[in-house]
Chains A and B, each alone.
Chain A
Amino acid sequence: MFEMKMFNTKKLWKAVSLGLCGAVLTVMLAGCGADNSSSADKGVLKVGVTNFADTLEPTQNFFGWVVMRYGLGECLTKFDDKMNVQPWLAESWSISDDHMTWTFKIREGVKFSNGNPLTAEAVKASIERAFAKNNRAATFFKYKEIKAEGQVLTIVTEKPMPNMPGFLADPLFIIVDTSAEGSRDFAKEGPICTGPYMVESFVKEKAVMKKNPNYWDGEVPFETVEIPSIDDPNTRAMALQSGEVDMAVNIAAGDMDTFRGNDKFFVDEISSLRTVLARLNHKGILKDDKVRAALICGCDRETYNNVLLKGTFLPGKAPVPPSMDYGFDQLTDPNAYNPERAAKLLDEAGWKDTNGDGIRDKDGQPLKLDFVVYNSRAELPLYAEAVQSDLKKLGFDINIKTVDYNLVDQMGIKGEYDLLISNITTANTGDPEIFLSWYWKTNNNGDNPQNGSGYSNPALDAKFNELAAEFDKSKRRQLIIDIQQILLNDGAALFLGYPQTNIISNKVLSGVKMYPSDYYWITSLIKPAK
């Protein structure tokens, strides 16, 4: 009886292992021989993206970004590849002499995808809707009055707003047809906008777009656009290789080599406006200026970016990346990489390894810091581990705490971290003022919630106040440089690097382009090649 059973077990083992071998082989063969049957020529464009939006309501969270990236929504203005503001739904604009009244001329002959004409009245309703639905709108500007007359829109602001055209390029101010809202659920079915494509169906995992028959700016090249959300960067790269998608955004460093120099693919790689930084909490152990300075100059940022990330990132130094003209080269970082100095600073601050465990301590407390990290961007854990490894040599005990992306924002606001990694776009309005003030202007009882670090410097606040009312371009530039230098001198945060961003397409397509603002992925310029 038992012999019988043994025999069966063995047989089963054999069958299972054979089956496994077969499966592995099949997968490998399938991987090698993947056919490159692209769909671009059949009137269907397939785009592999990452998507954080649960709905397509442009005023909810940052979901407007997705509405714009998918070729659905458009704003009054847009940024070109140098981050200059260009006309879009507004043909031109001007400002009154008292700097309080902006006049926008709305483009003639533009229609929403449902055929309704785009008038100043419609634009007014859409902007007011954004203000009513999302209080982030008021962090850009506050208006006294918006007037609409034919195709002329007038906005009267409460204070002088130097960067108004840039603000209106933010996807929060995507122009939607508010009159359609009664019969259509914008969140689930997508808003009615003016872009080349309109929503056929949307769930977080996949969007299907259809050609907008009323598009104003030339012929729309594809009947259908399918946009699967492939959040894992490696899977996205493989989907692009196998021809499952025709183009994909943000291919990770590890996979770039397979596309660079491959004549089947077109790679558009540019410096983005993003900064990867570790916010430092100025309330705990890192309250001590010397410890912060030691931490910053203990990190070999050149190596992280040039070697570990294979040059897909530029080495970090200042808050604003070098892709924008805000004095990157003239800023001096007092805490450039210097491990000897870092060790000396820690000694001076009284942190010494008294019990020989390799970790410095002071008054019985170990030099232990929590580094909060999220994983949805491939480079973030790598930076964190590199920092951990470098600082270990100096006697820091860095505890990496991986959390879900949705928790990071709240942890930042509440200050529940010692270090908190962030990948932040520094100039989504074409100007880094908002980014800088959000994270480092003094937070008095929650009036600047994003600064949960406890950092406060009155000299810096004075510069921010000056900047908020300054119209002169070169003076604004100088103020922003001053602000950055103060932040560097104070060791306010650890600026790790600046990502290059990329969009890669199969050569069956033409017109694929990455913009520094990261707002425009699918455009009417993307066409089948030939």
Chain B
Amino acid sequence: MTVFRENKLFAFYTGLVVLIVLLAIFAPYLAPQDPMAGNMKLVLQTPSAEHFLGTDKLGRDIFSRILCGTQISLFMALCLVALIAMVGTLVGVLAGFFGGWLETILMRFADMMLAFPGIVLAIAIAGILGGSVINTILALLVVSWAKYARLVRSLVLRLRNQDFIQAAKIQGAKTSSILWRHILPNVMPMVVITGAMDIGTMMMEIAGLSFLGFGAQPPTPEWGLMLNEGRQYIQTAPWLMIYPGLAIFIVVAIFNLWGDSLRDVLDPRQE
């Protein structure tokens, strides 16, 4: 709790993040109407008392859809970041700690992945696999893990020759326990910070792929997909794009600010 008391800003952003998470969890109960089923007689209604943010092209309540979209976007982004961090850390630790040919292979492969323009490769992969939530996550995983691998490897390289590791080795500690008890805990803070700062970016990329038709498929209430659906009506019913866009903006901004302030709290350089 002292962390919060000393970092007012971090406490504030954490509060907002918790609020978003709660909204996501309870979205199905909070949504005033079914986000999937609409009244086709009442399409493209302007925002009113009954439909807080208007209705979309199939007469579905946009407010309910955005609310339920929080769940999907957040779930996808968190899954993705967790997966990337895990894969990247694993590769980075192995490469950094063992060195030799293993490092050469893993790191050259990572370099290769970094040489591609990420989002373009992701579009290609998602396009080949076919549009779905799982495939989007896979595609973004494939293009994003390399950054973490490089980061973790360089941290491990620095740690590997430090005295406490040498001491553990001399004491006869097993390699697995060195990795688990000494290397990993020292690497984790950086990974967590990078991960937290990436949540927003990943949300944007997921929404981007959905917007292009490679991510969530209709009738899923996903923000990027909603933007795409609203595109046709940008001139006649702009609220179809404004509110999902606003939702993306707000949530991404909150996660970015939170990631920033988390870094301020966790970054060892600050001390």
In the assembled complex, which residues on chain B have CB atoms less than 8 Å from the CB atom of A300? 40
Asked whether, in the complex, the Cβ of A307 is within 8 Å of the Cβ of B218, the reply is no
Asked whether, in the complex, the Cβ of B219 is within 8 Å of the Cβ of A382, the reply is no
Contacts A252-B232, A254-B237, A389-B36 supplied; 17 other A-B pairs, CB < 8 Å: A2-B270, A6-B264, A9-B260, A234-B231, A237-B235, A253-B232, A254-B236, A255-B235, A255-B236, A308-B58, A378-B232, A384-B218, A388-B219, A389-B219, A392-B36, A400-B217, A402-B217
- Asked, given contacts A234-B231, A254-B236, A255-B235, whether A400 binds B218 with beta carbons under 8 Å apart, the answer is yes
In the assembled complex, which residues on chain B have CB atoms less than 8 Å from the CB atom of A255? 232, 235-236
Does B234 sit at the interface, judged by CB under 8 A?
yes
Instruction: Among B58, B131, B233, point to the contact of A385 (Cβ < 8 A).
Output: B58
**In whole angstroms, what is the CA distance A300 to B270 when docked?**
64
Does B43 sit at the interface, judged by CB under 8 A?
yes
Does B5 sit at the interface, judged by CB under 8 A?
no
In the assembled complex, which residues on chain A have CB atoms less than 8 Å from the CB atom of B270? 2
Cβ of A412 to closest chain B Cβ, rounded Å = 18
Asked whether, in the complex, the Cβ of A389 is within 8 Å of the Cβ of B232, the reply is no
Asked whether, in the complex, the Cβ of A307 is within 8 Å of the Cβ of B43, the reply is yes
Interface string of A19-35 (1 = CB under 8 A from B): 00000000000000000
In the assembled complex, which residues on chain A have CB atoms less than 8 Å from the CB atom of B58? 308, 382, 385-386, 389
B window 21-49: CB within 8 A of A: 36-38, 40-41, 43
In the assembled complex, which residues on chain B have CB atoms less than 8 Å from the CB atom of A365? none
- Asked, given contacts A2-B270, A254-B232, A307-B43, whether A388 binds B218 with beta carbons under 8 Å apart, the answer is yes
A window 202-261: CB within 8 A of B: 233-234, 237-238, 252-255, 257-258
Asked whether, in the complex, the Cβ of B236 is within 8 Å of the Cβ of A257, the reply is yes
A253, A255, A389: which has the most chain B beta carbons within 10 Å? A389
- 23 CB < 8 A contacts A-B: A2-B270, A234-B231, A234-B232, A234-B235, A253-B232, A254-B233, A300-B40, A303-B40, A303-B41, A308-B40, A308-B43, A308-B57, A308-B58, A382-B57, A382-B58, A384-B218, A385-B58, A385-B219, A389-B37, A400-B217, A402-B131, A402-B213, A402-B217
Cβ of A377 to closest chain B Cβ, rounded Å = 11
A233, A300, A303, A393: which has the most chain B beta carbons within 10 Å? A303
A233, A255, A304: which has the most chain B beta carbons within 10 Å? A255
* CB nearest to B217 among chain A residues: A400
Does B269 sit at the interface, judged by CB under 8 A?
yes
In the assembled complex, which residues on chain B have CB atoms less than 8 Å from the CB atom of A382? 57-58
Asked whether, in the complex, the Cβ of B235 is within 8 Å of the Cβ of A258, the reply is yes
Instruction: Among B234, B237, B269, point to the contact of A234 (Cβ < 8 A).
Output: B234
Instruction: Among A252, A257, A307, A400, point to the contact of B40 (Cβ < 8 A).
Output: A307
Asked whether, in the complex, the Cβ of B235 is within 8 Å of the Cβ of A393, the reply is no
In the assembled complex, which residues on chain A have CB atoms less than 8 Å from the CB atom of B37? 389, 392-393
In the assembled complex, which residues on chain B have CB atoms less than 8 Å from the CB atom of A354? none
Cβ of B141 to closest chain A Cβ, rounded Å = 22
A window 175-207: CB within 8 A of B: none
Asked whether, in the complex, the Cβ of B219 is within 8 Å of the Cβ of A233, the reply is no
**In whole angstroms, what is the CA distance A378 to B231 when docked?**
10
In the assembled complex, which residues on chain B have CB atoms less than 8 Å from the CB atom of A252? 232
Does A8 sit at the interface, judged by CB under 8 A?
no
A window 413-451: CB within 8 A of B: none
Asked whether, in the complex, the Cβ of B236 is within 8 Å of the Cβ of A386, the reply is no
Asked whether, in the complex, the Cβ of A304 is within 8 Å of the Cβ of B40, the reply is yes
Cβ of B204 to closest chain A Cβ, rounded Å = 14
In the assembled complex, which residues on chain A have CB atoms less than 8 Å from the CB atom of B233? 254
In the assembled complex, which residues on chain B have CB atoms less than 8 Å from the CB atom of A117? none
**In whole angstroms, what is the CA distance A474 to B235 when docked?**
47
**In whole angstroms, what is the CA distance A390 to B36 when docked?**
11
**In whole angstroms, what is the CA distance A375 to B213 when docked?**
9
* CB nearest to A378 among chain B residues: B232
**In whole angstroms, what is the CA distance A75 to B199 when docked?**
60
B130, B219, B237: which has the most chain A beta carbons within 10 Å? B219
User: 3 closest Cβ contacts across the A-B interface?
Assistant: A254-B232, A254-B233, A303-B40
Chain A residues near B (Cβ < 8 Å) = 2, 6, 9, 233-234, 237-238, 252-255, 257-258, 300, 303-304, 307-308, 375, 378, 381-382, 384-386, 388-390, 392-393, 400-402
Interface string of B222-265 (1 = CB under 8 A from A): 00000000011111110000000000000000000000100010
**In whole angstroms, what is the CA distance A233 to B233 when docked?**
11
**In whole angstroms, what is the CA distance A302 to B4 when docked?**
59
Cβ of A342 to closest chain B Cβ, rounded Å = 16
B window 180-229: CB within 8 A of A: 213, 217-219
Instruction: Among A9, A233, A393, A400, point to the contact of B232 (Cβ < 8 A).
Output: A233
Cβ of A105 to closest chain B Cβ, rounded Å = 49
* CB nearest to B40 among chain A residues: A303
* CB nearest to A10 among chain B residues: B260
B36, B37, B218: which has the most chain A beta carbons within 10 Å? B218
In the assembled complex, which residues on chain A have CB atoms less than 8 Å from the CB atom of B237? 254
**In whole angstroms, what is the CA distance A257 to B235 when docked?**
9
* CB nearest to B231 among chain A residues: A234
In the assembled complex, which residues on chain A have CB atoms less than 8 Å from the CB atom of B38? 389
* CB nearest to B253 among chain A residues: A17
**In whole angstroms, what is the CA distance A233 to B213 when docked?**
16
Interface string of B62-96 (1 = CB under 8 A from A): 00000000000000000000000000000000000
Asked whether, in the complex, the Cβ of B236 is within 8 Å of the Cβ of A258, the reply is yes
**In whole angstroms, what is the CA distance A402 to B126 when docked?**
13
**In whole angstroms, what is the CA distance A146 to B143 when docked?**
61
**In whole angstroms, what is the CA distance A339 to B135 when docked?**
35
In the assembled complex, which residues on chain B have CB atoms less than 8 Å from the CB atom of A393? 37
Cβ of B259 to closest chain A Cβ, rounded Å = 12
Asked whether, in the complex, the Cβ of A2 is within 8 Å of the Cβ of B232, the reply is no
Asked whether, in the complex, the Cβ of A386 is within 8 Å of the Cβ of B40, the reply is yes
A304, A307, A375, A402: which has the most chain B beta carbons within 10 Å? A307
Cβ of B215 to closest chain A Cβ, rounded Å = 11
B36, B37, B40, B264: which has the most chain A beta carbons within 10 Å? B40
Cβ of B46 to closest chain A Cβ, rounded Å = 14
Asked whether, in the complex, the Cβ of B218 is within 8 Å of the Cβ of A385, the reply is yes
In the assembled complex, which residues on chain B have CB atoms less than 8 Å from the CB atom of A233? 232
Cβ of B197 to closest chain A Cβ, rounded Å = 12
* CB nearest to B38 among chain A residues: A389
In the assembled complex, which residues on chain A have CB atoms less than 8 Å from the CB atom of B40? 300, 303-304, 307-308, 386, 389-390
Cβ of B37 to closest chain A Cβ, rounded Å = 6
Asked whether, in the complex, the Cβ of B41 is within 8 Å of the Cβ of A307, the reply is yes
* CB nearest to B218 among chain A residues: A385
**In whole angstroms, what is the CA distance A384 to B236 when docked?**
22
In the assembled complex, which residues on chain B have CB atoms less than 8 Å from the CB atom of A253? 232
Cβ of B18 to closest chain A Cβ, rounded Å = 23
- Asked, given contacts A234-B234, A393-B37, whether A2 binds B213 with beta carbons under 8 Å apart, the answer is no
**In whole angstroms, what is the CA distance A389 to B264 when docked?**
48
In the assembled complex, which residues on chain A have CB atoms less than 8 Å from the CB atom of B131? 402
In the assembled complex, which residues on chain A have CB atoms less than 8 Å from the CB atom of B41? 303, 307
In the assembled complex, which residues on chain B have CB atoms less than 8 Å from the CB atom of A308? 40, 43, 57-58
Cβ of B250 to closest chain A Cβ, rounded Å = 14
**In whole angstroms, what is the CA distance A392 to B37 when docked?**
9
In the assembled complex, which residues on chain B have CB atoms less than 8 Å from the CB atom of A381? 218
**In whole angstroms, what is the CA distance A392 to B57 when docked?**
17
Cβ of B88 to closest chain A Cβ, rounded Å = 24
